[in-house]
Amino acid sequence: MIRKKLVLSALISLLLGIVTIVPVFSSRVEAQAREELSFEMWTLDWDTISVDAGDVIEQMLRDIGIRMKAMPTSEEVLYDNLDLEHTYEVYEMSRGFWAYPVDIHDRFHSEEIRDYGLNYAGYSNPEFDALIDEAFKEMDFEKRTKLLWDAQRLLAEDPPYIPLFTSDDVHALRKEWTGYHRLSGGIFNWYNRLTTIDLRHVDQEYGADFIMAYPSYIDHYNPIAADDGRSMLVMSMVFDALVSYDEDMNIIPWLATDWTISPDYLTITFNIVHNAKWHDGVPLTAEDVKFTVDFYKEQDIPYDVALMTRIESVETDGDYTVIFHMTEPYAWALNGFEDVPIVPKHIWEGKAWDWAVHPDMMPIGSGPFKWDSYLDGEWIKLVANPDFWMEGKPHLGSFTIRVIAESSARFLAIKKNEVHTERYELDIGFIEAAKMDPNLVPLEDTWCVGMWDYIIDFNQRTDPALQDPAVKKAIAHAVDKQRLVDIARLGYGTVTDTFIPPAFFGPAYEDPNAVKYEYNVFLANKILDTAGYLDIDADGIREMPAPAPDRDGDGIPDDKDACPDIPGLPEYGGCPGEVKKLEDLVKRVDSLAASVGELAALKTDLATLKTDLEALRSQLTSSINIAYGLAIVAIIIAVVAVYFARRRE
Amino acid sequence: MTLDTRVKTRGLLRERVSSHATRVKDFWAIYKGSRLGMVGLSLILAFIIIALVAPWLAPYHPRALVGTSFLPPTEKYLLGTDQVGRDIYSELIWGTRISLMVGVLASAFAVAIGTTIGLLSGYYRGPLDSVLMRITDLFITLPNLPFILILAALIGRNIWNIIFVIAIIGWTGTARMVRSQTLSIKERPYVEAARSIGARDSQIVIRHILPNVFPLVFANAIIGTVDAILAESGLSFLGLGDPTQPSWGMILHYANEAGALATGRWWFIIPPGVCIMLVTIGFAFSSYSLDQILNPRLRKRRW
Amino acid sequence: MGFKEYVGKRILQGIVTVVLAITLNFIIFRIMPGDPTQAMVGDPRMDPETRITLIAKFGLDKPLLEQFVLYLYNLFSGELGVSFVQIGRPVVEIIFGRKLVNTVILMGSSMFLAFALGIIVGVIAAWKHGTKVDLSSIVFSLVTYSMPVFWFGMLLLLLFSYYINIFPIAGTVTPGLAHANFFEYASDYLHHMIAPMVTLAVSFFGGYFLFMRDTILDVFTEDYMLTARAKGLSDRKILFKHAMRNALLPMVSIMGVHLTYLISGATMTETVFSWDGLGRLIYDSVRDADYPVLQGIFLMMAILVVMASLCADITCAYLDPRIKEAAE
């Protein structure tokens, strides 16, 4: 009788054991003897565009046998890894362009491979570095652009990231307002000073009160420390720079009326306006400009470093002329100056650069608007500067910023005319409603190419598969960028094919010989097949290629083994160069097909069948399903146990 | 053990089981009479069934992109599509599993922790009691949501982490209650008697205290499920939920981000909230009825 | 045990709890993944001198125990650290400003509203127990208890700010409006506060209502009620003189504990209604990983809750001698 009890409990434990352990083992069995093309792609969790695009990309890449698992990650974790740990595999999010193509240096130059460096992928190519270094010294636009094109093409051969699209800036703006200027990056942006001075009410040329909604309060009151979009917009309205941009992203005079560059490119002389005054009445002179630059250099301010390190010294010549002596020719000197706010010497002298400008006094600048009042965390009111040095500007009487955290609430506020626009571009959720609202400026009229460029970036340090140009090119061919734009931005985006997209930086940057990767799933699959990434276990995901056999018999594992130099074989003559033309690729594929052809075709057919089955299987093996299965089993066991216990009579 | 003792044990076991069975039958008879309780129970059962048959009930895979974004309810997509084009109806059905699992497990763990601490504290008294009670006070003073937010941000967004985090916030009520019950039961005469014949502590706890404590603990677990489900949906709504699991809170999160409120996409916002409400109402009603039945003082009243 | 001893004991317990809270606070933010120095002063834009000063001040390069001592020392001199996000701004300034006031007012008024409503409706339901009124209030309270706070807030927002334009969309006051006097300011503030306050109050009403009702009904079934009735007191008099007074006591005692739930509810409500308070600060700080601010808030809340429950318990003990007996 005791034995029966023992047998019963033994049976029950065995059952429980099987039910628990088998799923664990089955997942173990899944683990391949060989590694798969399976990656974790981090997306930025608060950015719906990044998350949505990530989900779509995951589905697209399944078509070519790559598992790219989209994982929304917090900004903190993501940037910790990008800045310091560098252990990520793939990420997909937007980096953001500067107003001028300096990103190609920041993102790919080997000197940016360091802690807090911007070359997250770890791409290192001395030839590329040399091209960029030369380009950044080249003051002639044509020559410089050609060098940049060469660099771009070099990058495309082994792309550390794939440019996808820009999230275009469509703004919800009440139709009573006009005078905005459309620049790349949006009608409201910190380098779009033209909008700031020209914005006005349709029925009221001067003095109208404009209200903009912000998603959160500004981070800085200090114009130099301001590095977030919200603070920078405010600062660009309150402080001036020497130059600014026009609609085609050309440099135009601002505080500086004109400038001359010496023939050796080492001296830049600016003449500034004569009638500029600080908001407290003190006149603005060349001394303030000199002070600002000296201030940056003395205090080693971590901003605008590229410009500041190339300035050897600065001197004034009279009250309205500033002369900069450069250490070397710098192609982006003028663009760099657009970023530097000119600060008042009589207030800032002797202070630390990041001094808490608030709440002692509201920042005193020379710009078209000045601080009137604010409530920390809630709103800021700027009023027009009556003594602004540009005649007849600004048109607005005041510019108020209201913080409304919820995107829905912001949109509702615009509909109710409580605010007139918001800081950033319209979320896709509101685009339909905005199009139908008769009180808003038609979306097409505010549409500007966005500065937020979305990319898929591959860490060159972690997975060897990500170092293989074939894998990256295949991924590039497998992504339908227009579909991404349609889903993630409801069509309000611009596909980017190159690293310096002319859509944003200007048509002059259009490279006729640019290397582009068109959407072509067939080609993507063939590239991976040729490179040896085959789906051996037919689970829908390709495996890494087998180590190449020593085909040329010299005992050295190198490139020659992939295409041994043996008479009679198609590769006779050594490894051919980078295959750029589709015909070459097809030829190689045909030769391979001769030996492996039918097997490969069969495998791909099986693979598609298996992907469907795998989807079903994944449902069954997900942890929640196990839990439910266990629950059912547990209930059955409990019932059986109770039944037996009662039967003990 | 001698044969004699073994027979006696089995006999006692038999008695215990059958007396439990009778108690359960009596309990069910009372419970059936409570209208609120029956409504609650049927709601719970309905959702459990939905959760179990999800793979066959849902027309699409919840993560599959099946249509254009933001479609209103149509024949093909009963509740429309979300911001990337997934079928909301399927997401809701599959989300039942997650909400139920998180709610039940988190509450069960919380109650288990609380009961253990309460029992230990109430039975052994002395310094152990003071220490445990101070720890309990500490956890009471911790604000729930911020603590959950921080832990979730620290240890990552995974469904099991969320269950763990909710559990370690919610055990304090049970602990206190179990402790006071243990204290009062300890003084009862039969416990004294058991102790005098030399019964071991564990025997006393298991045989005498636990069964008396169990009904209230069970009631706590039920109401704890409500808090757990609300906590998980709150977490997900704020954007800290597990992004790979389409829980109802996550759907509301995406709905909010995509401005469903401001653009009148009621099919995105209202159904997930209604689902959360129905499940929690189910547990709340059941818990209320349980309370009414189990609390001896309440039984004296008519309602 | 006398009253004084009870008070003493409770205060001691409170202090111990606060000490534990401080320690827990310290530990959590030090066991964060990654380099702790990095977390505190890791912002690359912070200039090296500031970083060195901060490291010295908080002793981040010293062993953990020394750090703890330094932390306590800084704590008692009122120094809570510097925010990561708003670089340079001391945490005390961020927390103990308008945000605290806004949250306290919102939480206080919602709690008061929920409390008052809970008592009133609880009394009515208990008085009329067994009738439809009773049943419907029970159902109502259970339903509101089960409703997700943020969802209810969103529905209110949609209904009363969008479709029917009664309430404003966000914020505490209309921006840029120069209020003529305090009264105008107060009424604008109140106008903005109604929707979030109602949201919070409704979600808390359930708990108070049920508790009140239960307690009153309990009192009615107590033995001394029989005596009271025998003495000829009308049911009504019993209700107001005995029942309510006895019921109010436990209510007050749970209010202290409910503070934590209120804070959680406030976090979500403040986010939905863009109410500039501590709740939203918590959420923003978690998103931005502004750990010094979070530490400061946690500490403050722990102390607040301990003090609140301490006051509640002492008041109860003062009013009802039985509790002192049952305490320990």
A286 shares its domain with A355: yes
A160 shares its domain with A178: no
Which of A403, A430, A448 lies at the terminal end of a domain, its last residue?
A: A448
Count of CB atoms within 10 A of residue A96's CB? 13
| Chain A / chain B CB contacts < 8 angstroms | 99
Contacts of A402 in chain C (CB under 8 A): 170-171, 175
Number of domains in chain A: 4
Q: Is A51 on the interface with B (CB under 8 A)?
A: yes
Q: Pairing state of beta strands A379-384 and A251-253?
A: unpaired
Is A430 among the domain residues? yes
Is A478 among the domain residues? yes
Task: Tell me: pLDDT of A548 over 70.
Answer: no
Q: What CATH number has the domain bearing residue A63? A: 3.10.105
Cβ pair B256:A406 closer than 8 A: yes
pLDDT > 70 in chain C, percent: 71
Task: Tell me: pLDDT of C325 over 80.
Answer: no
Closest CA to A364 of A342, A333, A336, A334: A342
Confirm if A271 and A320 have CB atoms less than 8 A apart.
Answer: yes
> Predicted confidence band at A473 (pLDDT cuts at 50, 70, 90)?
very high
Task: Tell me: pLDDT of A603 over 80.
Answer: no
How many angstroms separate the CA of residue B256 from the nearest CA in chain C?
9
**What is the Cα–Cα distance from B225 to B101, expressed in whole angstroms?**
10
Q: What CATH number has the domain bearing residue A356? A: 3.90.76.10
A328-337, A468-477, A570-579, C179-188: which range is least confident on average?
A570-579
Cβ pair C38:A211 closer than 8 A: no
- A167 or B18, higher pLDDT: A167
**What is the Cα–Cα distance from B279 to B295, expressed in whole angstroms?**
24
pLDDT > 90 in chain A, percent: 52
Partner C, chain B 98-137, Cβ-Cβ below 8 Å: 134-135, 137
Q: Is B262 on the interface with C (CB under 8 A)?
A: yes
Closest CA to A455 of A130, A118, A8, A134: A118
Is A620 among the domain residues? yes
A51 shares its domain with A163: yes
Domain that holds residue A423: 169-223+372-448
Cβ pair B140:C286 closer than 8 A: no
A128 shares its domain with A207: no
Is A562 among the domain residues? no
Nearest CB among C20, C145, C155 relative to B138 is that of C20
Question: What ipTM, to 2 d.p.?
Answer: 0.80
- Burial class (CB within 10 angstroms; exposed 0-12, middle 13-18, buried 19+) of A13: exposed
pLDDT digits (tens, 9 = 90+) for A259-297: 999 999 999 999 999 999 999 899 999 999 999 999 999
A336 shares its domain with A279: yes
**What is the Cα–Cα distance from A32 to B101, expressed in whole angstroms?**
31
A490 shares its domain with A522: yes
**What is the Cα–Cα distance from A225 to C87, expressed in whole angstroms?**
9
**Average pLDDT, integer, range A342-363:** 79
Contacts of C273 in chain A (CB under 8 A): 406, 409
A154 shares its domain with A76: yes
Q: Is C263 on the interface with B (CB under 8 A)?
A: yes
- Spatial neighbors of A16 by CB under 8 A, at least 6 apart, are A633, A637
Angle at A55 (CA atoms; ends A162, B103), nearest 5 degrees: 145
Cβ pair B237:C148 closer than 8 A: yes
Q: Which tokens go with A355?
A: 């001094």
Angle at C12 (CA atoms; ends C7, C14), nearest 5 degrees: 95
pLDDT digits (tens, 9 = 90+) for B78-135: 888 888 888 999 999 999 998 898 999 999 999 999 998 888 888 888 888 888 888 8
How many angstroms separate the CA of residue A565 from the nearest CA in chain C?
51
A105 shares its domain with A57: yes
Q: Is C27 on the interface with B (CB under 8 A)?
A: no
Q: Which tokens go with C147?
A: 């409703």
| Single-letter amino acid, residue A51 | V
Q: Is C98 on the interface with A (CB under 8 A)?
A: yes
Q: Is C229 on the interface with A (CB under 8 A)?
A: no
Is A252 among the domain residues? yes
Sign of CA dihedral C305, C310, C313, C314: negative
Chain C's closest residue to A374, CA to CA, is C176
Cβ pair C171:A403 closer than 8 A: yes
> Predicted confidence band at A592 (pLDDT cuts at 50, 70, 90)?
low
pLDDT digits (tens, 9 = 90+) for A75-91: 777 888 898 888 999 99
Count of CB atoms within 10 A of residue A392's CB? 9
Is A559 among the domain residues? no
Contacts of A645 in chain B (CB under 8 A): 13-14, 17
Chain A: list its partners (3+ Cβ pairs within 8 Å).
B, C
Which of A394, A425, A448 lies at the terminal end of a domain, its last residue?
A: A448
**What is the Cα–Cα distance from B84 to B268, expressed in whole angstroms?**
12
What per-residue string of b and e applies to B176-194 under the rule 16 or more CB within 10 Å gives b?
A: bbbbebbbebbeeeebeeb
Task: Tell me: pLDDT of C167 over 90.
Answer: no
Which of A410, A427, A448 lies at the terminal end of a domain, its last residue?
A: A448
How many angstroms separate the CA of residue B22 from the nearest CA in chain C?
29
Chain B's closest residue to A413, CA to CA, is B262
Is A276 among the domain residues? yes
> Predicted confidence band at A105 (pLDDT cuts at 50, 70, 90)?
very high
Give the strands of the sheet with A369-375, arranged side by side: A369-375, A379-384, A396-403, A208-214, A421-422
Is A560 among the domain residues? no
pLDDT digits (tens, 9 = 90+) for B280-291: 999 999 888 888
Q: Which residue has the tokens 């091209």?
A: A131
| Single-letter amino acid, residue B245 | Q
How many angstroms separate the CA of residue B287 from the nearest CA in chain A?
22
A131 shares its domain with A11: no
A124 shares its domain with A192: no
A250 shares its domain with A356: yes
Residues of chain B scoring pLDDT < 50 = 299-303
**What is the Cα–Cα distance from B246 to C147, expressed in whole angstroms?**
20
A302 upstream amide cis, omega within 30 of 0: no
Count of CB atoms within 10 A of residue C236's CB? 9
Beta strand ranges found along chain B (DSSP E): none
| Model pLDDT, residue B37 | 84
Task: Tell me: pLDDT of C126 over 60.
Answer: yes
Q: What CATH number has the domain bearing residue A176? A: 3.40.190.10
| Model pLDDT, residue B300 | 47
How many angstroms separate the CA of residue B216 from the nearest CA in chain A?
22
- A73 or A558, higher pLDDT: A73
A180 shares its domain with A296: no
